[in-house]
């Protein structure tokens, strides 16, 4: 874990510190070696949350974009009492899960159902060939409009693995943009994808009152009609270069029938 409770406050691991687990209250010790990133570990026992996993610097970098009080938040089911530690939980109730390692489909489904309002950010650099597969899938896809493309479920394994009806999934390939996989269609015959800059992603999730956040939330709430029943004729497909995944500049504004900047 990145944080433990020290003197009634969240604290990062430092040599010589001891603290308490924010989830179960048991003692924790700081691990501050030279090989692994500094972290907290339960004293003499396994982690209390079975969904928790060892973090990479990639995890820490993403978490660091959000306020401290949003990081590693305990999310509890008021009916069952089950609780887990969300990587980030925003002031609007979005749970952001940053996933680097392989995750079984059963656990993804369990997390989706538990958190409900969830957004996944997946490290696309874990397997070297995934970026090229995504580029090939985008090139072979059908343009819905200038920025959204329909992709066959068989065109890209990483999309097929992560397709979900619960919420958006963003893939981070290490560049300035993220590839967004929309929640899958009702008939599961295709996936819809686009790209968004990391800067815009952070604005959407950090500032719920921003115009981008409001428009993005409207899109997600009504994405079936906005994306899958898009009435405008598709434009001619353009090639996607490895170094330049299509930039997302606009979403269709289905209320005012115009395009607005994201």
User: Are 18 and 66 in a shared domain?
Assistant: no
- pLDDT confidence tier of residue 120, bands split at 50, 70 and 90: very high
What's the pLDDT at 186?
A: 60
Strand segments, DSSP code E, in 13-147 are 18-20, 27-31, 39-42, 71-76, 83-89, 95-99, 118-123, 142-143
Sign of CA dihedral 211, 176, 104, 70: negative
185 vs 30: which has the higher pLDDT:
30
Nearest alpha-carbon partner for 38 in 59, 24, 8, 20: 59
| Cα atoms found within 13 Å of the Cα of residue 241, Cβ hemisphere only | 3
Mean pLDDT, residues 176-183 taken together: 90
Same domain, 248 and 204: yes
pLDDT at 142 over 70: yes
- Name, in order, each residue with C-beta under 8 angstroms of 24's C-beta and a sequence gap of 6 or more: 48
pLDDT of 202 over the 90 cut: yes
Instruction: Please count the structural domains in the chain.
Output: 2
Neighbour tally for 46: CB within 10 Å? 9
pLDDT at 245 (0 to 100):
41
Q: Are residues 34 and 96 both part of a single domain?
A: no
Is residue 178's pLDDT more than 90?
A: yes
pLDDT at 253: 37
Q: Give the containing element (helix H, strand E) for 131.
A: helix 130-140
Average pLDDT rounded to a whole number, residues 128-136? 88
Decide if pLDDT at 134 tops 50.
yes
Examine the domain organization and report whether 92 and 141 are in the same domain: yes
- Among the ranges 33-47, 78-92, 246-260, which has the highest mean pLDDT value? 78-92
Domain extent, residue 1, equals 1-48
Tell me: do 29 and 100 sit in the same domain: no
Is residue 77 located within the same domain as residue 188?
yes
Categorise residue 126: left if φ over 0, alpha if ψ from -120 to 50, beta otherwise: alpha
Say whether both 175 and 104 belong to one domain: yes
* Residue 214 parent element (H or E): helix 211-221
Mean pLDDT, range 105-115, rounded to an integer: 92
pLDDT beyond 80 at 251: no
Based on the domain organization, do 102 and 35 belong to the same domain? no
**Residue 129 pLDDT class (50, 70, 90 cuts):** confident
The answer, as to whether pTM is greater than 0.85, is: no
51-68: burial string, b at 16+ Cβ within 10 Å, e else? ebeebbebbbebbeebee
Average pLDDT, the chain: 80
pLDDT at res. 196: 87
Tell me the sheet residues that pair with 192.
150
Whether residue 107 sits in one domain with residue 35: no
For the cut 60, the answer to whether the pLDDT of residue 233 exceeds it is no
Sign of CA dihedral 214, 249, 126, 186: positive
Q: 16 pLDDT exceeds 60?
A: yes
The Cα–Cα gap between 181 and 190 comes to: 11
Q: What is the pLDDT of residues 17-35, one digit of tens each?
A: 888 888 888 888 888 877 7
Higher pLDDT, 9 or 229: 9
**What's residue 241's pLDDT?**
38
User: Looking at the DSSP assignment, which residues form a beta bridge with residue 53?
Assistant: none
So what's the pLDDT on residue 228? 61
In this structure, the answer to whether residues 149 and 246 fall within a common structural domain is yes
Tell me the DSSP string of 195-212.
EEEHHHHHHHHH-TTSHH
Lowest mean pLDDT among 9-13, 68-72, 226-230: 226-230
Closest-CA residue to 228 (of 169, 180, 183, 168): 183
CA angle 202, 206, 210 (to 5 degrees): 95
| CA angle in degrees (0–180, nearest 5) for 17-21-24 | 155
């Amino acid at each position: 874990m990145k944080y433990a409770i020290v003197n009634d406050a969240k604290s990062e691991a430092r040599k010589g510190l001891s603290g308490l687990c924010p989830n179960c209250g048991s003692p924790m010790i700081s691990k501050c070696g030279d090989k692994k990133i500094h972290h907290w570990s339960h004293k003499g026992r396994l982690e209390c949350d079975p969904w928790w996993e060892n973090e990479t610097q990639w995890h820490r970098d993403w978490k660091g974009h959000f306020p401290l009080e949003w990081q590693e938040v305990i999310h509890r089911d008021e009916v069952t009492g089950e609780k887990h530690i969300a990587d980030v939980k925003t002031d609007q109730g979005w749970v952001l899960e940053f996933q680097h390692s392989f995750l079984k489909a059963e656990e993804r489904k369990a997390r989706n159902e538990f958190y409900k309002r969830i957004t996944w950010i997946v490290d696309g650099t874990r397997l070297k060939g995934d970026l090229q597969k995504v580029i090939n899938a985008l090139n072979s896809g059908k343009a819905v409009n200038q920025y959204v493309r329909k992709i066959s479920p068989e065109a890209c394994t990483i999309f097929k693995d992560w397709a979900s009806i619960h919420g958006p999934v963003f893939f981070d390939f290490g560049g300035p943009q993220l590839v967004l996989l929309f929640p899958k269609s009702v008939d599961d015959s295709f996936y819809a994808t686009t790209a968004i800059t990391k800067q815009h992603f952070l604005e959407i999730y950090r500032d719920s009152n921003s115009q981008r956040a409001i428009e993005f939330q409207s899109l997600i709430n009504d994405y079936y009609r906005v994306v899958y029943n898009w009435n405008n004729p598709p434009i001619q497909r353009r090639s996607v270069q490895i170094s330049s995944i299509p930039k997302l500049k606009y979403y269709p504004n289905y209320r005012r029938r115009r395009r607005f900047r994201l």
